Amino acid sequence: MKNLTNILRLMLLAFLLLPGRVAGGEIDYQAAEQAYFFAREHMEAGEVAEAMTAYREALRLRPGWDLAHYHLGYALAQEGKLDAAIAEYRMAVAADPDYAVAWNSLGVALSRQGKAADARKAFRKAAEAAPAYAETWFNLGVLALGLGDEGEARLAFERVVALRPGDAPAWFNLGYARSLSGLDEQALEALDAALRIETEYAQAHALRGRVLARGHRNDDAEKALRRALAIDPDYADAWVALGRLLEQAGKTDKARDAYARGAGTPGGDAARAAFQQGLLEYREGKLESAEAAFATAARADPAEKRVHNNLGMTRLDQGDLEGAREAFAAAVAADPGYALAQANLGSVCLRIRDLACAGAALGEALRIDPSNVPARVDLASVHWLKGENEQALAELRAAVARDPADARARLLLSRLLMETNHPREALASYRIFLDRFPEAPGARTAKRRVEELEKVLARQ
């Protein structure tokens, strides 16, 4: 080991005694090389703070040294100091615009900060500088998938498998990108290649099952999904895919079992399985079981707004208004811009006569989605109950103008017009209601109101 260390020292010294790239002033290459070498030794020993100190000393002795900037950036990234790491990577590529490894690391750091557009530029620079650098193409492909650019992802992973034909994850991602593009047969070819390299690749078996299911090759799809689950029994997404396949085949009990198995797996992915189980139970009219499944999903993934909203609907259908309110409020907390949950929260608050809650939620729902006629009718009811009749009339008129086929809006408008002493307009509105909705709830009462209004107007 000592001989190897000495050889490495001599190699580094010989390299660094070449003419420097930074202009101006005397540069002590030997001292800079020694500091750089000590920094690398500290990194190998896991002594990151000491390594950073040594890299900075190397840069003091040899300003603008691309290698030292890159490795200092790498050490900073290991410590989670991404802004500082990015600054060092940028100095490395400024010193050497063809430094592909530094461009790639810059892209990785920018990706970790969620700066996808800048990360993509960095990965493309790395690929331009070193077209045979497979790692950059892989990273570019992953980023493109995250951005929804399946075309660039396909091209990137095709480059990876050309450079590294034994890379099973690259073949898998190529299959995934092709499946997203609707190229199912090509996707299957890529997945088969991944499985020839790594036969126990659960994700590849599962994706293969989903692609086969999309092509209605259900028996083969089920075999592929069950193979994935034999390899990884805790693969929640595979249980979900199997459950959906069985549910579509009318095998409801087996689908329920698959969803339940997925819901019982560790990790956040179990929430999707519990959610699907809840949907199945709800469709079957098994509200208590649906509520239990949605509650399990909500505990597993508290940030999933749809779970809370569906839990609220299940409780509402069982008459649990306070429980429904709590669930809808959780959905809104998860995403204040979720118009459906805002409307549902407002509706249940209206039913329990919490008019402040109802008005606020319904107003927000309509700000997000002005086309939501049921929410507008509920907001009109809030105004009505508060004695704000003009505001209520305005909301109801807007509701029937937006959706003339909404019987509830038309009936409430007719009632309010009559109560606020607009007999002619009320009579016309009731007649429209009866003409369009002769069998709707409230039609019998509407006929009596028409008779009453006709008598009133006849006396005038």
Q: Look up the CATH number of the domain holding residue 42.
A: 1.25.40.10
Q: What percent of the chain has pLDDT over 70?
A: 95
Asked if the model's pLDDT at residue 54 lies above 50, the reply is yes
**Measured between alpha carbons, how far is residue 40 from residues 10, 85, 312 in Å?**
15, 16, 57
Q: Is the pTM of this model over 0.85?
A: no
CB 294 within 8 A of CB 315: no
Q: Is position 265 within any domain? A: no
8 in a structural domain: yes
Kindly list the distances between the CA atom of residue 249 and the CA atoms of 217, 219, 243, 255, 260, in Å, as whole numbers in the listed order: 12, 11, 10, 9, 18
Rounded Cα gap, residues 225 and 243, in angstroms = 10
Q: Find tokens 């399990």 and name the residue.
A: 296
pLDDT value at 439 more than 50: yes
What is the DSSP-derived secondary structure letter of residue 21? Answer: S
Does residue 119 have a pLDDT over 90?
yes
* pLDDT, position 459: 85
pLDDT at position 399 over 80: yes
- Residue 343 counted as domain residue: no
CB atoms inside a 10 Å sphere around CB 410:
26
Amino acid at 97: P
In a domain, 210, yes or no: no
Identify the residue with better confidence: 285 or 26.
285
Q: How distant is the alpha carbon of residue 459 from its chain centre? A: 64
Q: How far apart are the first and last CA of the chain?
A: 112
Q: pLDDT band at residue 21, thresholds of 50, 70 and 90?
A: very low
Report, as an integer, the average pLDDT of 67-80.
94
Domain membership of residue 58 as a residue range: 1-18+26-127
Residue 81 lies in a domain: yes
Map residue 19 onto helix, strand or coil: coil
The answer to whether residue 94 is domain-embedded is yes
pLDDT for residue 8 is more than 50:
no
Average pLDDT, the chain: 92
pLDDT (tens digit, 9 = 90+) per residue, 244-300? 999 999 999 999 999 999 999 987 789 999 999 999 999 999 999 999 999 999 999
On whether residue 250 sits in a domain, the answer given is: no
How far is Cα 151 from Cα 157, in angstroms, rounded to an integer?
10
Q: Which residue has better confidence, 329 or 22?
A: 329
| Total count of domains within the chain | 1
> Residue 216: inside a domain, yes or no?
no
More confidently predicted of 254 and 456: 254
* pLDDT (0 to 100) of residue 25: 56
What is the separation of C-alpha 428 from the centre of its chain, rounded to a whole number of angstroms? 49
Report whether pLDDT(7) > 90: no
Question: pLDDT at residue 90 above 60?
Answer: yes
Phi, psi of 174 (to 5 degrees): -65, -40
